[in-house]
């Protein structure tokens, strides 16, 4: 099965040697079962440059965030050009955990644009919160559409996705494993939302090479239920991506699936 698997390590693990072990184990799983699934690991910045410089078989690397300016007096920030020069290929933008810390759609739009301009692939995260979803699927779609409109087609994006590569991660907040009372989405509803996202982007006629993936409580037990759906191009895995044996299992399952 040819799908995209993105591992968002979040603020884990605490040491470089643990980070290396996770990368080595994912790479070993690919070596063993083939690289039909494309695996992208997104470690914290502090481990990212060392890992992406080491060339693990079958792995690509992504950042969890980026700053929109290319250089200058921005203490603590990392630019898309720095990421590119370190061998990074993808950048997660607008994860709900960052939105919750105050990242606005305006900031996200600037980041997406900077990532594309640097020749990297953004993984733009969108998804509704629990209160919105409780109002029904139509409300959730309206919410996601408004995020896409602001993050990709607003004043700060200037249609930057024209002729670009773009990954969108549909990740409903209520499905993220660390949220209180989280529960995984159904593959049917996730596929329906993902098709909705694809249709919306299509209406913009941007000639974008688009992949739309699902995130939120993905495990080895449920991953194939999502990925058998042709609408779903891959997964964004958080918690399981730092559990070596379970992540390995996920890679193997996808590589061995038809
Ligand atoms: P989860 O996290 O897989 O632990 O639910 C996904 C994410 O937040 O990226």
Mean pLDDT per 10-residue section of the chain, whose length is 258 residues: 96 98 97 92 97 94 97 98 97 98 97 96 98 97 98 87 94 94 95 98 94 97 97 98 98 93
Does the beta carbon of 239 lie inside 6 Å of ligand 1? Answer: yes
The separation between CA 74 and the C-alpha centre of its own chain, rounded to angstroms, equals 25
User: Which residues partner with 236 through β-bridges?
Assistant: 6, 215
CA distance 213 to 204: 19
State residue 113's pLDDT score.
Answer: 95
**Ligand 1 pocket test: which of 96, 237, 241, 243 has the largest number of ligand atoms within 8 Å of its C-beta?**
237
Pair of tokens at residue 6: 């993105």
3-state helix, strand, coil in the chain (%, to 5): 45, 15, 40
State residue 157's pLDDT score.
Answer: 84
CA distance 236 to 25: 18
Distance 217 CA to ligand 1 centre (A): 6
Q: Among this protein's residues, is 225 annotated catalytic?
A: no
State residue 155's pLDDT score.
Answer: 87
Select from 141, 130, 44 the least CA-distant residue to 88: 44
Q: Among this protein's residues, is 171 annotated catalytic?
A: yes
What is the atom index within ligand 1 of the atom nearest the CA of 125?
Answer: 9
Distance 71 CA to ligand 1 centre (A): 31
């Amino acid at each position: 099965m040819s799908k995209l698997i993105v591992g968002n390590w979040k603020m884990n693990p605490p040491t470089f040697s643990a980070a290396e072990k996770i990368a080595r184990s994912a790479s070993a799983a690919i070596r063993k079962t083939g690289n039909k699934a494309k695996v992208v690991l997104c470690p914290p910045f502090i481990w990212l440059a060392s890992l992406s410089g080491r060339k693990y078989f079958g792995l690509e690397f992504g950042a969890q965030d980026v700053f929109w300016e290319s250089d200058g007096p921005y203490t603590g920030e990392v630019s898309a050009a720095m990421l590119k020069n370190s061998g990074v290929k993808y950048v997660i933008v607008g994860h709900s955990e960052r939105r919750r810390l105050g990242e606005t759609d305006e900031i996200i739009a600037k980041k997406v644009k900077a990532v594309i301009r640097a020749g990297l692939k953004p993984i733009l995260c969108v998804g509704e919160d629990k209160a919105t979803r409780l109002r029904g699927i139509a409300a959730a779609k309206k919410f996601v559409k408004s995020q896409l409109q602001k993050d990709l087609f607003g004043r700060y994006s200037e249609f930057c996705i024209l002729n670009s590569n773009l990954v969108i991660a549909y990740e409903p907040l209520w499905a993220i494993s660390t949220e209180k009372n989280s529960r995984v989405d159904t593959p049917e509803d996730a596929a329906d939302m993902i098709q909705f996202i694809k249709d919306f982007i299509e209406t913009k006629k941007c000639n974008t090479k688009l992949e739309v993936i699902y995130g939120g409580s993905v495990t080895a037990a449920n991953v194939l239920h999502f990925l058998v759906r042709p609408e779903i191009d891959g997964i964004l895995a958080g918690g399981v991506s730092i559990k070596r044996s379970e992540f390995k299992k996920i890679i193997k399952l996808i590589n061995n699936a038809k």
